[in-house]
Amino acid sequence: MDTYLNTGIKEIITEFPEVETILNDYDIGCGPCSVGICLLKDIVSIHQLSVEQEKELMERIAAAVDPGKEHPVPKTRKWSSPAPPKTRRYSPPLQKLVDEHVLIKRWIALIPEFVDALDLESEQGKKRILDGIDMIRSYADKYHHAKEEEILFKYFDETADILKVMHEDHTRARSLVKAMQKALAENDKKTLSESLTAYRELLAEHIRKEDEILYPWMDSQLTDRQVGELFARFARVDQESGIAPETYEGFVRQLEAAFQ
């Protein structure tokens, strides 16, 4: 069993499909992840389960990967760790990122209607598409993802599998934006629709992983001094980025009114 703790979760799920079902029972949704390079021990340790839940989970996984044998329960953390609080609370800088997610989620929730209404013939239609792409490039990436990559992630070991997954998601999102821009330039409605839809699916899962897994884990590791530093550095980005969040709030509100 100790060997599997240091094995990528996708590899384990491929060999033992039952493990995905077990993880789902504890709201650890590794199956849909497009990367899946996280080690089993990291996945278990960063999901804030109670001591009892984590013991039970590891017992079930041990039984699934090597049935019919007795196994000592592998320890992925100190069993004296307290149970997680019922209501999730973030430190101020992490809450800032979660709040930014809210606007991004409002935008990607509109993408199905946005795709249905794609107009590549009129100037007004093309402008709406350009505004949508700009929402992704400027607000979601240059404003939000940059805070993560250039500031937050630097406080942690960036070779950790969970951060590799986040970087991979960001890279995939940027490649989809390039595909959108190319499709728009070539009046390729099919590729534009597919790229927007793929972006929606990617970001929805990416944000869920950050809000429910990554940020709570990071908050548990950061010192009070680091939290203060992050808050100040995020505020500096807000002042110096040249990106006005209210512009993108207005864009999303217009779409919500149009598609209501």
Angstrom distances, CA of residue 171 to CA of 35, 108, 166? 12, 18, 9
Answer yes or no: is 73 within a domain: no
Indicate the pLDDT class of residue 84, thresholds 50, 70 and 90. Answer: very low
* Phi/psi-derived region of residue 146, left when phi > 0, alpha when psi is between -120 and 50, beta in every other case: alpha
Give pLDDT tens digits for 171-214.
Answer: 999 999 999 999 999 999 999 999 999 999 999 999 998 998 89
CA triple 119-123-124, angle to 5 deg: 70
Quote the CA–CA distance of 13 and 64 in Å, as a whole number.
10
Asked if residue 235 and residue 107 are part of one domain, the reply reads yes
Mean pLDDT, residues 89-93: 92
Largest Cα separation within the chain, whole Å, is 68
| Predicted TM-score of the model (pTM) | 0.73
Note the helical H segments in the chain.
Answer: 2-5, 9-15, 18-25, 40-46, 51-65, 92-109, 111-116, 123-134, 146-150, 161-185, 189-209, 215-221, 224-240, 245-259
Would residue 202 count as lying in a domain?
A: yes
Q: Are residues 244 and 173 in the same domain?
A: yes
pLDDT at residue 70, as a whole number = 64
Task: Give the domain CATH number at 199.
Answer: 1.20.120.520
Domain count across the chain: 2
User: Residue 6 domain-assigned?
Assistant: yes
**96 falls within a domain:** yes
Two tokens at 244? Answer: 């006005």
CATH number of the domain where residue 31 is located: 1.10.3910
Residue 83 lies in a domain: no
- Give Cβ neighbours of residue 100 (< 8 Å, ≥ 6 apart): 139, 143, 144, 245
- Note whether 158 and 247 are same-domain residues: yes
Weakest mean pLDDT among 54-58, 94-98, 143-147, 183-187: 54-58
For residues 160 and 76, give the distance between their C-alpha atoms in angstroms, rounded to a whole number.
15
Domain that holds residue 126: 92-259
